[in-house]
């Protein structure tokens, strides 16, 4: 069942069969984005991945289709606080379908579902300082900057300080002992921010 519709996309709840479609997604060529490549999995791993995403009250996962009914994106709510009515956003789109406006459209539509249907109060996210494309997408959807922080990078195996191709990005990173850390931007959109842009 379609939960909400944008102009270029529509959103559904994640189902087990969607994982097979996500296995056909393209791959990021840029090493900084390798950690967003959807993992190739056997049937058992897919079952485990699906259970892990759907078993917990603190998580909700969704998929984004374009108007040609292709599954182009994945949106996750993590750390859902049912009393405070807040959560954290995770968003990953098919590398073959990025930069086509689906992320912004899907996220805008999703925010309607988040604030109007789920009646949540705020949505938080964390984005790497180097990830300008994601930041643009979030700004376009109405998120605002909260703080810049230094935290562990998702992909600890990335050879930032070993390989020359990373020289332009090194200033975003630092080594804390053995741990690779990166600068991140924390962003938020609240219910009031959403409705003051859109109207009730
Ligand atoms: C982040 C992501 C979900 C955005 O979805 P998308 O469909 O690619 O985004 P859109 O096409 O809707 O919009 C991208 C915006 O960034 C801009 N943009 C694209 N490439 C850019 C770049 N290299 N630098 C700066 N801006 C860029 C586009 O112009 C557009 O902004 P505009 O509408 O103001 O012109 C998607 O790119 C993705 O999955 N990336 C890999 C995973 C990831 O980074 N996830 C977020 C982790 S916090």
Assess contact for 144 and 187: CB atoms under 8 A.
Answer: yes
- In 3D, which of 139, 137, 113 has the Cα closest to residue 60? 113
CATH number of the domain encompassing residue 161: 3.40.630.30
Angle, vertex CA 35, rays to CA 38 and CA 151, nearest 5: 140
Place of tokens 């020359």: 164
- Per-residue model confidence (pLDDT) at position 124: 98
Say if ligand 1 is within 6 A of residue 91 CB: yes
Ligand 1 atom at minimal distance to the Cα of residue 125: 48
pLDDT in tens, 109-161: 999 999 999 999 999 999 999 999 999 999 999 999 999 999 999 999 999 99
Question: What's the number of domains the chain is made of?
Answer: 1
Report how far residue 73's alpha carbon sits from residue 62's, in angstroms, rounded to the nearest whole number: 8
Nearest CA residue ID for atom 43, ligand 1? 92
- Per-residue model confidence (pLDDT) at position 197: 86
In degrees and rounded to multiples of 5, residue 132 shows phi and psi of: -65, -35
Assess contact for 73 and 91: CB atoms under 8 A.
Answer: yes
| 9: number of Cβ within 10 Å | 24
Say if ligand 1 is within 6 A of residue 184 CB: no
Report how far residue 37's alpha carbon sits from residue 67's, in angstroms, rounded to the nearest whole number: 23
Say if ligand 1 is within 6 A of residue 134 CB: yes
93's tokens: 């789109």
Q: Tell me, in angstroms, the distance from the centre of ligand 1 to residue 100's CA.
A: 9
Q: How far is CA 85 from CA 45, 121, 188, in A?
A: 31, 5, 13
Q: Which of 137, 141, 146 to mutate to test the pocket of ligand 1 (most atoms within 8 A of CB)?
A: 137
- In 3D, which of 78, 85, 169 has the Cα closest to residue 126? 78
Beta pairing partners, 181: 152, 174
> Which SS3 state, helix, strand or coil, does residue 101 take?
coil
The sign one gets for the Cα dihedral 134, 97, 34, 113 is positive
Give the range of the structural domain holding residue 33, as residue numbers without chain letter. Answer: 2-198
Q: By CB neighbour count within 10 A (0-12 exposed, 13-18 middle, 19+ buried), where does 53 fall? A: middle
Whether this model's pTM surpasses 0.85: yes
Nearest CA residue ID for atom 26, ligand 1? 133
Q: For the chain, which residues score pLDDT lower than 70?
A: 199-200
Say if ligand 1 is within 6 A of residue 102 CB: yes
């Amino acid at each position: 069942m379609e939960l909400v519709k944008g102009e270029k996309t529509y959103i559904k709840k994640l189902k087990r069969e969607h994982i097979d479609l996500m296995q056909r997604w393209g791959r990021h060529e840029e090493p900084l984005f390798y950690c967003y490549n959807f993992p190739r999995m056997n049937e058992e791993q897919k079952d485990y991945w699906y259970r892990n995403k759907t078993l917990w009250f603190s998580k909700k996962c969704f998929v984004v289709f374009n108007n040609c009914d292709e599954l182009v994106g994945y949106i996750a709510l993590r750390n859902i606080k049912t009393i405070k009515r807040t959560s954290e956003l995770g968003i990953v789109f098919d590398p073959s379908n990025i930069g086509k406006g689906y992320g912004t459209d899907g996220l805008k539509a999703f925010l309607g579902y988040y604030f109007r249907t789920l009646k949540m109060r705020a949505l938080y996210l964390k984005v790497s300082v180097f990830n300008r494309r994601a930041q643009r997408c979030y700004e376009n959807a109405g998120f605002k900057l909260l703080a810049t922080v230094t935290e562990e990078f998702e992909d600890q195996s990335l050879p930032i300080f070993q390989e020359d191709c990373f020289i332009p990005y090194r200033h975003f990173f630092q080594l804390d002992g053995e741990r690779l850390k990166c600068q991140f931007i924390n962003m938020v959109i609240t219910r009031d921010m959403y409705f003051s842009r859109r109207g009730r």
